[in-house]
Amino acid sequence: MGGNLEIKNLTKNMGKFILSNISFTAYPGEILGIIGVNGSGKTTLIRTIIGAYKFDDGSIKFGDFDSYENQKEYRCKLAYVMEKSPFSPSYRAKEIGELYGPYYSGFDMDKYMKLLAEYDILPSDKLNSLSKGQKIKQQIAFAMSYDAECFIFDEPTGNLDVDYRDEFYEMMRNVVANEENVVLYATHLVDELEYIADRILWMERVRVGDSEKDEDKENGANGWVGRVKCFMSIDELKDSFRVIEAPEEILKQVPSEMIISKNTSEIHSEVMVDLREGEIPTELEKYARMAELREIMYHIETGEE
């Protein structure tokens, strides 16, 4: 059985931005999607987890390995694919395996070469000669070639063609199919997560002056704070909200405390409601429908009324 990724009270001060008191656990066999507006701290969180940034407070563990106390063992359990490749652009694809592979437990050079071939990447290809999509594929080939148990993806499909995205999603499902591996997936393409993620970590960005949390000020933030807005399953999130589409006169019957946002026009009017704040009046139920994840995120982030 694989290990849990446990993040407790993680804080990283970047000066004008602080990642504040982030806590969550990701379990073997699940894909955890990470969403949030630009600047909410998704990439800062990912880079802190993989060890690119030192954090100021809290802890990060995978299984029995602490990211500080057992740094080598911890990092060998991680595999990551970033929007921008971490490898030197002057290296050839084969050289990357030869140079970096020995640092990772169980690295299989034959498997790496086979995956490169499947992705139409030659061993002699330099990284700076590859397309953006091929650079992502090269990272995936490397990540899949050693004994990693926690796979971390930061905006990996933005530069991939639509056909390959479906193949990539299937690969991610296969990664967790053994119920031993964990996948963290940060993306701005929210629609992706509706079909592949088990749970959502929703990051939000607030100004320090707008934050009601004393710890944000105590942690020394002087600009923006990135923190967890909600952490729940896709089903729980979707079950908590509804979109009511009806003429504006009918929408006036919706209890105001339930309304998150409201959009009206001569052609179309709708409100997003939070079911945790009350029940939809019976006479309005026929106008209500479940919201898609992107709609929930849009309405809550914009709050346009």
Is the pLDDT score of 126 beyond 90? yes
Q: In the chain, which segments carry CATH 3.40.50.300?
A: 5-233
Packing angle of the helix pair 109-118, 132-143 (nearest 10 deg): 150
Nearest one of 50, 42, 52 to 19, comparing CA atoms: 42
Q: How many CA atoms lie within 13 A of 92 on its CB side?
A: 8
Is the pLDDT score of 299 beyond 70? yes
Residue 282: the pLDDT is 92
Question: pLDDT of 218-276, one tens digit each?
Answer: 555 568 999 999 999 999 999 999 999 999 889 999 999 999 988 887 788 899 999 99
Six token digits for residue 216: 């944000």
Residue 254: the pLDDT is 92
Residue 303: the pLDDT is 63
Reported pTM: 0.85
Exposure class string for 96-132: b at 16+ Cβ within 10 A, else e: bbeebbeebeebbeeebbebbeebebeeebebeebee
Residue 297: the pLDDT is 86
Q: What percent of the chain has pLDDT over 70?
A: 93
Contact, 79 vs 124, CB < 8 A? Answer: no
| Distance, CA of 259 to CA of 250 (rounded, Å) | 14
Residue 300: the pLDDT is 83
Categorize the per-residue pLDDT at 212 as very low, low, confident or very high, splitting at 50, 70 and 90. low
φ, ψ for residue 141, nearest 5 deg: -60, -45
Q: What is the DSSP letter of 52?
A: S
**Can you identify the CATH homologous superfamily of domain 5-233?**
P-loop containing nucleotide triphosphate hydrolases (3.40.50.300)
| H or E element at residue 294 | helix 293-302
- DSSP character string of 158-203: TTS-HHHHHHHHHHHHHHHTTSS-EEEEE-S-HHHHHHH-SEEEEE
Residue 190: the pLDDT is 84
Residue 132: the pLDDT is 82
Residue 304: the pLDDT is 45
Q: What percent of the chain has pLDDT over 90?
A: 58
Is the pLDDT score of 213 beyond 70? no
Residue 305: the pLDDT is 39
Q: What is the mean pLDDT of residues 203-212?
A: 75
Question: pLDDT of 41-89, one tens digit each?
Answer: 999 999 999 999 999 999 999 999 999 999 989 998 999 988 888 899 9
| Distance, CA of 119 to CA of 241 (rounded, Å) | 41
What is the rounded average pLDDT for all residues in the chain?
88
Is the pLDDT score of 193 beyond 90? no
Is the pLDDT score of 121 beyond 60? yes
Residue 194: the pLDDT is 83
